[in-house]
Amino acid sequence: MELSLFRIYRPEGTNGEIINGEQHVCFTIELPWLNNAHKISCIPEGRYELRKRFDEKFHWHIEVCHVPERDCILMHPANNAKLELEGCIAPVTKTNGPGKGILSVNANEKLKDLVFGALEKNEKVYLTIKKIIQIS
């Protein structure tokens, strides 16, 4: 499965949309682009494999693998990137400002169902992150 994340970069935060083929899956929020700096920047554009991961904090969630110079980049619920993320990607149902969204838990469950369903069929799942526009 090939998913695409199309981003809009703003100084206050990054918003995006995940597409499966031509079908909308969810919107996303992330930290602003700050040259891939640990814990304060979104990750670089590129193609990343996704895998299923478990920990005590987020339980079952999606990990974004092989991010250059970064580790433990996750996809998990958050509604405010600057307050709740450290470089991860938060699925949201709707964005309502740069790096802000609503109903993240719902969007995260929808994305997990899609990705985990493919993984359970032994399909590889990839996320390709692309820029739409940067706003100063």
pLDDT of residue 14: 97
Of 126, 84, 99, 109, the C-alpha closest to 28 is 99
Question: For residue range 48-96, what is the model confidence (pLDDT) as tens digits?
Answer: 999 999 988 889 999 999 999 999 999 999 999 999 999 999 999 999 9
Reported pTM:
0.95
Q: Report d(CA 59, CA 87) in Å as an integer.
A: 18
Q: Are 68 and 44 in contact (CB under 8 A)?
A: yes
| Average of per-residue pLDDT across 28-48 | 97
Provide DSSP, 15-35.
EEEEEETTEEEEEEEE---ST
Q: How do beta strands 125-134 and 2-10 pair?
A: parallel
The CATH number of the domain where 127 resides is what?
A: 2.40.440
Q: How many domains does the chain have?
A: 1
H helices within the chain, ranges in order? 81-84, 104-120
Number of helical (H) and strand (E) elements in the chain, helices listed first:
2, 10
Q: Are 8 and 97 in contact (CB under 8 A)?
A: no
Q: Report d(CA 91, CA 126) in Å as an integer.
A: 16
Per the structure, the complete domain to which residue 76 belongs is given by 2-134
Question: For residue range 84-135, what is the model confidence (pLDDT) as tens digits?
Answer: 999 999 999 999 999 999 999 999 999 999 999 999 999 999 999 998 866 6
